[in-house]
């Protein structure tokens, strides 16, 4: 989700992939096409990162992800400035920094790619948080663009029959919404093809992430943060499938050659929560210089976590259950279970949790998850306080001290 | 004890009302986190709906579970649960609201030992027919789960009877709200809040009786009640602070309307008594003035606020947002903009309930009231 992710070089030893170059080309083409949508007659939809993009692609609408853009703002170290601008507009400093950065950039322009193309519609799915509901209300008013909300109630326990039926009903509402905005009938045949490609891309994404099961891990979570961009924005396209195919074969070569993402991998760790975009390089280097590789994370894993619930032969119906059950839309004990599975699968030595001021659904309950994980696995856990975009909330020396203490704990085990 | 003293006492010490219900009468009580929980269903299941208001002044236990960037209601409610002060509850029912409340529900379920815990996974979107169908289904499931948790069987007539009772309670509270609009000096804003808070925790049948007595007393001949003072509407996050309202009124001014889930939003509307009870309950919940954490259209909230201002002839708005209250935080600039376009002055306050800077607040309120037309 960033142009300047982990692959732009870790002093600690991570290595670039050839696919990274291709990623930059694809993302440049993607944004250029979106910027010139007015000339090509295509419509632009802004959509939340957990939202079902496939119906948009089936209707030839260009999906744009404000979260992705805010991540770029953060990685470009422009986050504090945009967030401060939002505060001048009256938005409190405690609100999500993705939202603050996006709201401010929409009004003032600028940013790492000169702002986003104006939306013709907004698609908001609440499966990642309730914050997006408010954020998209703000933007729908500002752009005077139609807003569709896919409401996926949080599953504290199991997804209820009623909640799944509700989500399914809303998929039909979504299709009717698109037909209304675009003025043409929905292309169900095309959706089948997009659905097939989406499943294929998610399968490849899972394989890419799971290459880190090898020791040394050929990619780190910091690499995954970078490579994530396409599975978020372009799943359901051939270009996405081809990209992850290329990346996977590169990673397999690394495995064959025993090349790790981190030079002399000594410790294997799992990351929880969103990245600290302005500090991914610093964090990557800080961990790598101590021989620690963050081999997996809960964030990037979310884009293939419901793969097994998707049905190629009935993509439309299976979307409802799958989009309702993503990591952030589950109860805390289920989230802890996912982390425990990651720790086990990747044979990890510990857990690093980012207590993210911007993301309450991800960060509230982390102390309980920490306790559940420690009780079950006995592995050490460290919590780092930061923010995903607004680097005013990042105290480098404090974070470094915590990491040092954590690494000492690992060394003594 | 006068009716007003009863409401004040209960609002100041809700736990005494809880103990009176559970210990003296031996009946169950169910804690609720939000005014979206259908209290009628709890009452129809033979239990007292008891709104969790967050009574603790310190949050030492809750701080072990929640980070610093958490709002005070979530922290204090958790503290009440962890400290054991709510041990008289048979269980809790948490309605889906903002992200913080939803995670509080999980943390509560994992850490608060006493009683059962039920989640009402309510829709966030209230503007579509599919949401209403789903809402009804959630209410039906909740009723069955609640009866199961309490070890009871369904009594077909209990829910319609409960709906009637709660309609009566709401009608009286609505009358009280009308009275404060017409004769704002007859009841202070702090006392109005005390009545509204007490009505969310006390025996509701007793609440109706005491409200009848209160209303009868207030309908007497008007005295010099300060009806000519500046009239204000209060909007914002849940308000549990009678002292904050007193400070506003000491400026001097009168609070004549509110858009608070502990105030008028709590008792707004009426449940249709002839319809299917679940459908009728769902319709009222969906038609209520929208909680900022819900979506009922882009202008639903400002539309309700402007209507309230018009009906109450309020001259300005105090917008009180709790620190770390995200739904409120996102709405603030738009509400300010809409009010400014209508030429209505607005004072925005950011508050933390445990850290209440009284003198600073007084100065800001005084300066605001001075700006208003007499």
The answer to whether A136 and A48 have CB atoms below 8 angstroms apart is: yes
Q: CA of B5, closest CA in chain A: separation in Å? A: 38
Cβ separation of A162 and B131 shorter than 8 Å?
no
Of A121, A122, A89, which Cα lies nearest the Cα of A103? A89
**Facing residue for B326 by CB, picked from A95, A140, A154:** A95
Q: What pLDDT is attached to residue B373?
A: 65
Cβ separation of B121 and A364 shorter than 8 Å?
no
Q: Summarize the confidence of residues B68-93 as an average pLDDT.
A: 96
Residue ranges of alpha helices (H) inside A36-187 are 37-40, 54-58, 66-75, 79-88, 97-108, 131-143, 161-182
| Chain A neighbors of B116, CB-CB under 8 A | none
Residue A300 scores a pLDDT above 90: yes
| Residue range A243-258, pLDDT digits in tens | 999 999 999 999 999 9
**Facing residue for A154 by CB, picked from B121, B137, B336:** B121
**Facing residue for B295 by CB, picked from A90, A133, A166:** A133
Report residue A376 CA to chain centroid gap. 27
Q: CA of A128, closest CA in chain B: separation in Å? A: 10
Of B343, B362, B366, B337, which Cα lies nearest the Cα of B230? B366
pLDDT band at A11 (very low <50, low <70, confident <90, very high): very low
Residue B357 scores a pLDDT above 90: no
| Chain A neighbors of B104, CB-CB under 8 A | 364
DSSP A349: S
CB pairs under 8 A between A and B: 149
Chain B, window 79-138: residues with a beta carbon less than 8 angstroms from a chain A beta carbon: 96, 98-100, 102-107, 109-111, 119, 121-125, 128, 130-131, 133-134, 137-138
The answer to whether A22 and A16 have CB atoms below 8 angstroms apart is: no
Q: What pLDDT is attached to residue A266?
A: 97
Cβ separation of A154 and B69 shorter than 8 Å?
no
| Chain A neighbors of B293, CB-CB under 8 A | 130, 133
Cβ separation of B67 and A129 shorter than 8 Å?
no
Cβ separation of B107 and A153 shorter than 8 Å?
no
| Residue range B234-271, pLDDT digits in tens | 998 877 778 889 999 999 999 999 999 999 999 999 99
Q: What pLDDT is attached to residue A16?
A: 72
Q: What pLDDT is attached to residue A4?
A: 32
- A142 touching B (Cβ < 8 Å): no
Q: CA of A155, closest CA in chain B: separation in Å? A: 7
Averaged pLDDT of chain A: 94
Alpha-carbon distances of B165 from A237, A357, B39, B139, rounded to whole Å: 58, 44, 11, 18
| Chain B neighbors of A129, CB-CB under 8 A | 99
- B326 touching A (Cβ < 8 Å): yes
- A157 touching B (Cβ < 8 Å): yes
Q: What pLDDT is attached to residue B221?
A: 62
β-pair partners for A356: A386
Report residue B185 CA to chain centroid gap. 22
Q: What pLDDT is attached to residue A13?
A: 42
| Residue range A163-214, pLDDT digits in tens | 999 999 999 999 999 999 999 999 999 999 999 999 999 999 999 999 999 9
| Residue range B301-344, pLDDT digits in tens | 999 999 999 999 999 999 999 999 999 999 999 999 999 999 99
The answer to whether B179 and B218 have CB atoms below 8 angstroms apart is: yes
Q: CA of B160, closest CA in chain A: separation in Å? A: 24
Cβ separation of B326 and A126 shorter than 8 Å?
no
- B315 touching A (Cβ < 8 Å): no
> Which three-class secondary structure state does DSSP give residue B247?
helix
Alpha-carbon distances of B30 from A60, B37, B118, B160, rounded to whole Å: 51, 11, 10, 19
| Chain A neighbors of B105, CB-CB under 8 A | 156
Residue B21 scores a pLDDT above 60: yes
Residues contacting B295, CB < 8 A, separation 6+: A133, A137, A149, A151, B124, B125, B126, B127
Residue A374 scores a pLDDT above 90: yes
Residue B114 scores a pLDDT above 90: no
- B324 touching A (Cβ < 8 Å): yes
Calculate what percentage of chain A has a pLDDT beyond 90: 94
Nearest CA in chain A to B328: A134
Q: What pLDDT is attached to residue B354?
A: 63
- B66 touching A (Cβ < 8 Å): yes
**Facing residue for A94 by CB, picked from B66, B104, B323:** B323
Q: What pLDDT is attached to residue B243?
A: 83
| Chain B neighbors of A142, CB-CB under 8 A | none
Q: CA of A381, closest CA in chain B: separation in Å? A: 15
**Facing residue for A173 by CB, picked from B102, B124, B128:** B128
- B27 touching A (Cβ < 8 Å): no
**Facing residue for B102 by CB, picked from A157, A361, A367:** A361
Chain B, window 333-372: residues with a beta carbon less than 8 angstroms from a chain A beta carbon: 333-334, 336, 348, 350
The answer to whether A123 and A324 have CB atoms below 8 angstroms apart is: no
Cβ separation of B298 and A141 shorter than 8 Å?
yes
**Facing residue for A153 by CB, picked from B65, B69, B96:** B96
Residue A2 scores a pLDDT above 50: no
Of A327, A324, A331, which Cα lies nearest the Cα of A303? A327
Q: CA of A411, closest CA in chain B: separation in Å? A: 27
Residue B27 scores a pLDDT above 70: yes
Q: What pLDDT is attached to residue A1?
A: 37
Cβ separation of B330 and A365 shorter than 8 Å?
no
Q: Summarize the confidence of residues B91-106 as an average pLDDT.
A: 97
Calculate what percentage of chain B has a pLDDT beyond 90: 85
Q: What pLDDT is attached to residue B127?
A: 81
Question: Which residue reads 């041990």 in tokens?
Answer: B87
Of B100, B361, B327, B103, which Cα lies nearest the Cα of B236? B327
Q: What pLDDT is attached to residue B358?
A: 86
| Residue range A273-286, pLDDT digits in tens | 999 999 999 999 99
**Facing residue for A333 by CB, picked from B96, B99, B110:** B110
- A169 touching B (Cβ < 8 Å): yes
Q: CA of A163, closest CA in chain B: separation in Å? A: 7
Of B268, B207, B186, which Cα lies nearest the Cα of B11? B207
> Which three-class secondary structure state does DSSP give residue A81?
helix
What are A227's two structure tokens? 């490579």
Alpha carbons A362 and A360: distance in angstroms, whole number: 5
Cβ separation of A364 and B70 shorter than 8 Å?
yes
Chain A, window 21-80: residues with a beta carbon less than 8 angstroms from a chain B beta carbon: none
Cβ separation of A368 and B70 shorter than 8 Å?
no
Residue B92 scores a pLDDT above 80: yes
Residue A18 scores a pLDDT above 90: no
Averaged pLDDT of chain B: 94
| Chain B neighbors of A50, CB-CB under 8 A | none
- A171 touching B (Cβ < 8 Å): no
ipTM for the whole complex = 0.96
Alpha carbons B265 and A140: distance in angstroms, whole number: 25
Cβ separation of A90 and B336 shorter than 8 Å?
yes
């Amino acid at each position: 989700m960033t142009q300047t992710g982990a692959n732009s070089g870790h002093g600690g030893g991570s290595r670039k992939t050839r696919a990274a170059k291709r990623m930059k080309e694809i993302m440049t083409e993607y944004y250029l096409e979106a910027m010139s949508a007015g000339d090509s007659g295509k419509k632009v939809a802004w959509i939340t990162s957990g939202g079902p993009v496939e119906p948009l692609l089936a209707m030839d609408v260009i999906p744009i992800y404000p979260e992705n853009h805010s991540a770029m703002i953060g990685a470009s170290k422009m986050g504090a400035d945009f967030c401060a601008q939002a505060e001048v507009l009256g938005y409190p400093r405690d609100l999500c920094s993705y939202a603050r950065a996006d709201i401010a950039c929409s009004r003032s322009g600028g940013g790492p790619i000169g702002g986003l193309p104006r939306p013709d519609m907004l698609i908001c799915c609440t499966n990642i948080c309730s914050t997006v509901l408010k954020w998209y209300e703000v933007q729908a008013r500002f752009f005077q663009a139609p807003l569709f909300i896919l409401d996926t109630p949080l599953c504290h326990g199991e997804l209820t029959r009623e909640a799944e039926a509700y989500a399914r009903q809303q998929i039909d509402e979504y299709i009717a919404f698109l037909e209304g905005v675009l003025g043409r009938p929905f292309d169900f045949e095309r959706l089948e093809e997009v659905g097939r490609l989406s499943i294929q891309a998610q399968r490849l994404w899972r394989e890419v992430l799971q290459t880190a099961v090898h020791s040394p891990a050929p990619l780190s979570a910091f690499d995954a943060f970078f490579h994530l961009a396409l599975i978020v924005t372009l799943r359901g396209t051939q270009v996405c499938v081809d990209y992850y195919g290329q990346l996977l074969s590169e990673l397999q070569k690394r495995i064959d050659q025993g090349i790790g993402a981190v030079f002399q991998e000594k410790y294997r760790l799992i990351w929880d929560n969103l990245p600290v975009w302005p500090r991914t390089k610093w964090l990557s280097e800080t961990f790598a210089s101590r021989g620690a590789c963050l081999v997996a994370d809960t964030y990037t894993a979310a884009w293939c976590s419901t793969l097994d619930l998707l049905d190629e032969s009935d993509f439309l119906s299976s979307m409802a259950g799958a989009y309702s059950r993503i990591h952030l839309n589950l109860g805390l004990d289920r989230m802890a279970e996912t982390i425990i599975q990651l720790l086990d699968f990747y044979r990890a030595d510990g857990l690093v949790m980012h207590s993210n001021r911007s993301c309450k659904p991800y960060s509230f309950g982390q102390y309980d998850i920490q306790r559940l994980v420690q009780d079950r696995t006995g592995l050490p856990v460290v919590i780092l306080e930061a923010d995903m975009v607004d680097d005013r909330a990042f105290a480098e020396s404090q974070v470094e001290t915590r990491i040092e203490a954590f690494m000492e704990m690992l060394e003594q085990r | 004890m006068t009716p007003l003293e009863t409401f004040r006492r209960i609002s100041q010490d809700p736990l005494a009302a809880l103990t009176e219900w559970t210990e003296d009468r031996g009946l169950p009580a169910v804690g609720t986190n939000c005014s979206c929980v259908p209290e009628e269903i709890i009452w129809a299941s033979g239990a007292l709906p008891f709104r969790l208001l967050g009574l603790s002044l310190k949050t030492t236990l809750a701080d072990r579970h929640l980070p610093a960037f958490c709002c005070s209601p979530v922290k204090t409610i958790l503290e009440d649960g962890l400290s054991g002060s709510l041990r008289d509850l048979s269980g809790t029912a948490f309605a889906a609201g903002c992200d913080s409340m939803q995670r509080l529900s999980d943390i509560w379920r994992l850490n608060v030992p006493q009683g059962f815990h039920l989640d009402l996974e309510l829709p966030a979107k209230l503007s579509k027919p599919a949401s209403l169908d789903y809402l009804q289904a959630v209410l039906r499931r909740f009723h069955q789960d609640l009866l199961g948790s309490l070890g009871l069987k369904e009594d077909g007539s209990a829910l319609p009877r409960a709906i009637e009772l709660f309609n009566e309670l709401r009608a009286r509270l609505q009358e009280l709200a009308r009275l404060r609009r017409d004769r704002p000096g007859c009841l202070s804003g702090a006392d109005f809040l005390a009545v509204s808070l007490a009505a969310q925790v006390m025996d509701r049948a007793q609440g109706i009786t005491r409200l009848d007595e209160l209303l009868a007393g207030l309908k007497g001949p008007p005295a010099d009640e300060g009806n000519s003072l500046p009239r204000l509407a209060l909007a914002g996050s849940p308000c549990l602070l009678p002292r904050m309202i007193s400070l506003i009124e000491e400026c001097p001014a009168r609070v004549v309307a509110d858009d608070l889930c502990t105030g008028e939003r709590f008792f707004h509307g009426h449940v249709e008594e002839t319809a299917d009870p679940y459908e009728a309950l769902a319709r009222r919940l969906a038609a209520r003035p929208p909680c900022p954490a819900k979506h009922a259209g882009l202008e639903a909230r400002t539309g309700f606020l402007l209507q309230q201002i018009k009906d109450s002839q309020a001259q300005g708005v105090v917008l009180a947002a709790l620190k770390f209250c995200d739904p409120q935080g996102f709405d603030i600039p738009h509400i300010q903009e809409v009010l400014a376009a209508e030429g209505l002055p607005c004072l925005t306050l950011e508050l933390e309930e445990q850290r209440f800077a009284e003198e600073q607040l007084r100065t800001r309120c005084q300066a605001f009231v001075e700006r208003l037309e007499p």
